[in-house]
Amino acid sequence: MEKHRSLENKRVLVTGGTGSLGQTLVNRLLSGRDGLPSKVVVFSRDEAKQHYMRLEHLERKAATDDIIYQNSQDRLAFRIGDVRDESSLSAALRDIDVVFHAAALKQVPSCEYFPYEAVQTNIHGAENLVKIIRDRSLPIEAVVGISTDKACKPINVMGMTKAIQERILIEANRDIPQTSFMCVRYGNVIASRGSIVPLFVQQIKEGRPLTVTLPEMTRFLLSLERAVDTVIAAFSEGQRGETYVPKVKAAKIADVAKALMGNRELPITFNGIRPGEKVHEIMVSEEECFRTIERGDHYVILPVLPELRETAEVKPALTSEYSSKNDNIDIPELLELLRSAGGEIEQFISEISISRSI
């Protein structure tokens, strides 16, 4: 086992750094909890999101519990660019030590309607990253690719492209010895843009029916902070070619709707599966079980390529697939999990609790 990596004085690039996960990850990096980087570069193609993210950070003048802002204007930098474009990505990778690769097309229906757009970003973007590091012999210490439970036994374009992205990054370990490539695979982030919980909150506030696909549909649920914990763990302690999967709770989506309603009596309408959706998600398949081990709060899938594994002896941590259909939590536990999302969701849950006690 290698000693743990640290972010102290590292120059870090976050592709897709203006997304929900990207912004939370940047906050975590600037907090110094895992070692304070000398530079954090946000790389994305959305100039408006970069503008507002820059303003948000510059308006914080003093150190807080969340962010260390000493010399923050020098520490945090922004670059407009697209992982699809090799030249702009190459310029961003200059003088970088660590890459967190979060850039992606991730909305399932959008990828179904525009599949090649998902290929361009999710597959070609990862290949560009690997190609640049390999062809320019860049001294990058580690790359952590952000994947999804939908990459496991994929049935939709987003999952298919993410599954190939995982393989591209893991395989890169074979001929780029100076860089450790790891992946992270996780489920639904409670408060992320486009996720179901913010939509339910909006529907409840407006007194509208709550729209659910099917009564039996389930999902893994985790907070943005828990997702970032997994990303940092993969960087800190992950070995070449490993995929980190958090041990998290799963719930029926209909129960999420009921939990958020509190004492309100709003109808739930079931409108069927959207293009490309699964009824249940899987984070570790039964085919991956035999090479999955436990490490703290995570399952770790060892590389599919045997030559990348450190040992042939593996004591599997799972005997069957790790699926959201199993061990669903009840509504009281679900409320506590939703509260962990923080921000507007936590405030909404507190209001529900007050109304229930009246």
Please give the positions annotated as active site: 150
CA 17, 149, 66 angle in degrees (round to 5)? 35
Question: Whose CA is closest to 293, among 315, 320, 313, 310?
Answer: 315
Q: In what order do the strands lie in the sheet with 39-44?
A: 76-80, 39-44, 11-15, 98-101, 142-148, 180-186, 243-246, 298-301, 292-295
**Tokens 């946000």 appear where?**
42
CA 343, distance to chain mean position in Å, is: 18
